[in-house]
């Protein structure tokens, strides 16, 4: 029998699960930030770095909540790095976006 916490509205197991999930997501967030910074600083980054694959426009980094996207100034396309979609979905659980992707 788990204790219900009046303050959080969750029982202890749920609270612990949510805490661990938040920690895992924060760890993924900082890993992705580090990878991005490393690639940005690297001389060996690809020639098409930060150019839109659809229209060739300049991409700009935008932080949208927990996710960093590359948004095209030309066509308005939004591009995600590896791992960013997973972050987006994890934070979108129970939302329309989450349901769209089967979460
Ligand atoms: Zn574009």
Distance 7 CA to ligand 1 centre (A): 47
What tens digit of pLDDT does each residue of 16-41 get? 988 998 899 899 999 999 998 998 88
Distance 6 CA to ligand 1 centre (A): 49
Distance 72 CA to ligand 1 centre (A): 5
pLDDT band at 43; cut points 50, 70, 90: confident
Domain ranges of the chain: 12-100
pTM above 0.95, yes or no: no
Distance 50 CA to ligand 1 centre (A): 10
Distance 11 CA to ligand 1 centre (A): 47
Helix, strand or coil, per DSSP, at residue 6: coil
Angle at 102 between CA 16 and CA 80, to 5 degrees: 85
Average pLDDT over residues 8-12: 75
Whether residue 55 has pLDDT greater than 90 = yes
């Amino acid at each position: 029998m788990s204790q219900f916490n009046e303050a959080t509205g969750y029982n202890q197991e749920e609270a612990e699960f949510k805490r661990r999930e938040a920690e895992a997501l924060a760890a993924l967030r900082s890993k992705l930030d580090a990878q991005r910074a490393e690639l940005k600083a690297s001389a060996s980054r690809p020639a098409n770095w930060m150019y839109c694959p659809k229209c060739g426009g300049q991409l700009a980094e935008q932080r949208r909540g927990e996710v960093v996207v590359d948004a095209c100034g030309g066509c308005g396309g939004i591009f995600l790095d590896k791992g960013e979609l997973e972050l987006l979905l994890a934070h979108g659980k129970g939302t329309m976006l989450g349901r769209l992707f089967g979460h």
